[in-house]
């Protein structure tokens, strides 16, 4: 048997600098090193960890891709999205760790050359043959080559005498059947403990804070159930369209691209019962337990949209992209009502909604509580707990108060925790940096397990197939609008959401 990642405590209990302190000789291979994901996310995340001294000092980073590049060209690409004011000595030190190997993704000889490069680096680190070594294979690649690359890694690069970790990016399949095939193919090559399926929303600061908020504060957990909560909405909004990537997006659509993974993962954390510990498997057991209690989504509980050109004509519609078929019914906006059939949540509707080309950038969780059961202040407004995940991390509770002074007028205000004003000198890292650090620490807490993935596709696959087979046409909405006409009424009718009758507008503190 190969040496795999051992079960560990979650990231809330393990030291963030564990990998740096243990300083095991580590090689990180970034497959797809010439692509946008590696350039915009993977290498900047590694550089952030390097600056924070959270990487092992005995480290080698190897880029692998089909593109032929000189060392200078590779280094230029690696640093192309670094901040312009990045410390030059840090940049130079980081680049000394980075080498590049060009090769195809299905040629054994090219992977054997990669193995030679890895072993050469391990020799420099003076750890050849040591069982203490760690190898991380980061697949910043399209899903069409996942299995080819994983197969070549296992047959030509994998070393049973050291710790091996494989990082896989979404999408993890196209539906339940394809996801199961991918899991079977990957599972035939690597142990589950060696696989890290990355969903970058699980690395976002406010999402990682949900467990602490719920289980470290008695007053939140006491009202975190169907007896007090009316409905919960999880919203993802982007102010831009597909921007020339419509042909790629059209293969997936908003439900597959955002809802089946990012938003459903967030839902599972909000809805889960308290785990036995903060150990990775205990946390993931509770998340999977929630997903198993969610019924497949029905078409009548779904509202779909597709954006058209903006009112002034300055922004193109989805099908104005030449790469998008003119008869495309792929939704760029979707909202679905889900139900969690357990004692904590039975009867509480959950709404997950996501859209492109909307009026703002925002990702938030809105928990609306029930009406007060008395007649002193009847039906004025409902309390809400809002967790804004992005772009400005914050948390606030919408609360009814009396206006100050001689007035007896009631107003809606908030108890507010905005990270930017409360934590002045804290640099919140990109989610990718957080998750790569978890990989180095061997912590699976914020990664998707195969049974979680299976349950997520079970919930969405019947709906996706019905939309495609019955050719359900999404409702049009203008680029830059709030979404299709009728979207708010759908939520109001389906889940009983109530807007406040008191004047209120939240603004993030400056």
Catalytic residue among 262, 339, 444, 465: 262
Look up tokens 């291979």; give the residue.
29
Question: Do 419 and 205 meet the contact criterion of CB atoms below 8 Å apart?
Answer: yes
Q: Which of 60, 187, 31 is nearest to 122 (CA)?
A: 60
What gap in Å lies between CA 446 and CA 196, rounded to an integer?
A: 9
262 part of the active site? yes
Pairing of strands 195-198, 163-169: parallel
Backbone φ and ψ for 352, nearest 5 degrees, come out as: -115, 130
Question: Do 309 and 320 meet the contact criterion of CB atoms below 8 Å apart?
Answer: yes
Say whether 258 sits in a helix, a strand or coil.
helix
Cβ burial 69-95 (10 Å sphere, 16+ → b, else e): beeeebbebbbeebeeeeeeeebeebb
Helix/strand/coil (H, E, C) string of 59-119?
A: EEEEEEECCCCCHHHHHHHHCCCCCCCCCHHHHHHHHCCEEEEECCCCCHHHHHHHHHHHH
Q: Which of 196, 276, 207 is nearest to 442 (CA)?
A: 196
What gap in Å lies between CA 442 and CA 427, rounded to an integer?
A: 23
What gap in Å lies between CA 59 and CA 23, rounded to an integer?
A: 9
What gap in Å lies between CA 316 and CA 323, rounded to an integer?
A: 13
- Name 105's bridge partners: none
What gap in Å lies between CA 450 and CA 166, rounded to an integer?
A: 14
Any idea which residues carry the catalytic annotation? Answer: 262
């Amino acid at each position: 048997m190969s040496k795999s990642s051992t079960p560990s405590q979650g990231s809330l209990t393990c030291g963030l600098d564990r990998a740096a302190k243990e300083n095991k000789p580590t090689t990180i291979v970034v497959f797809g090193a010439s692509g946008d994901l590696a350039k915009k996310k993977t290498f900047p995340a590694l550089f952030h960890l390097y600056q924070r001294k959270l990487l092992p000092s005995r480290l080698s980073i190897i880029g692998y891709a089909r593109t032929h590049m000189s060392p200078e060209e590779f280094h230029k690409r690696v640093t192309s999205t670094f901040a312009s004011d990045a410390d030059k000595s840090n940049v130079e030190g980081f680049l000394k760790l980075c080498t590049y190997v060009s090769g195809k993704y299905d040629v054994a000889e090219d992977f054997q050359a990669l193995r030679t490069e890895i072993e050469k680096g391990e020799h420099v680190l003076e750890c050849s043959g040591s069982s203490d070594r760690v190898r991380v294979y980061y697949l910043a690649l399209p899903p069409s080559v996942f299995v080819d690359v994983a197969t070549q890694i296992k047959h030509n690069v994998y070393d049973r005498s050291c710790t091996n970790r494989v990082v896989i990016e979404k999408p993890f399949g196209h539906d339940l059947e394809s996801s199961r095939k991918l899991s079977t193919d990957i599972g035939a090559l690597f142990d589950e403990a060696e696989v890290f399926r990355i969903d970058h929303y699980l690395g976002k600061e406010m999402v990682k804070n949900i467990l602490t908020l719920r289980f470290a504060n008695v007053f939140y957990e006491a009202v975190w159930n169907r007896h007090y909560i009316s409905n919960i909405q999880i919203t993802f909004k982007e102010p831009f369209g597909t921007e020339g990537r419509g042909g790629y997006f059209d293969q997936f659509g908003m439900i597959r691209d955002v809802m089946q993974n990012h938003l459903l993962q967030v839902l599972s954390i909000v809805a889960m019962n308290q785990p036995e510990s903060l150990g990775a498997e205990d946390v993931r057991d509770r998340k999977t337990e929630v997903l198993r209690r969610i019924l497949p989504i029905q078409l009548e509980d779904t509202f779909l949209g597709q954006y058209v050109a903006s009112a002034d004509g300055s922004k193109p519609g989805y099908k104005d992209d030449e790469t998008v078929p003119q008869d495309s019914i792929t939704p760029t906006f979707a909202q679905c009502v889900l139900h969690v059939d357990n004692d904590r949540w039975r009867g509480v509707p959950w709404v997950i909604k996501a859209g492109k080309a909307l009026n703002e950038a925002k990702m938030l969780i809105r928990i609306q509580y029930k009406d007060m059961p008395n007649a002193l202040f009847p039906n004025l407004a409902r309390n809400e707990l809002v967790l804004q995940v992005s772009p400005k991390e914050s948390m606030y509770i919408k609360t009814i108060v009396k206006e100050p002074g001689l007035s007896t007028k009631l107003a809606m205000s908030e108890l507010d925790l905005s990270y930017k004003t409360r934590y002045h000198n804290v640099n919140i890292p990109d989610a990718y940096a957080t998750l790569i650090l978890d990989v180095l620490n061997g912590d699976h807490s914020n990664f998707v397990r195969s049974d979680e993935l299976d349950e997520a596709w079970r919930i969405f696959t019947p709906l996706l197939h019905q939309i495609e087979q019955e050719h359900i046409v999404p409702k049009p909405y203008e680029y830059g609008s709030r979404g299709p006409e009728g979207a708010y009424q759908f939520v109001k009718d389906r889940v009983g959401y109530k807007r406040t009758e008191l004047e209120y507008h939240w603004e993030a503190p400056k």
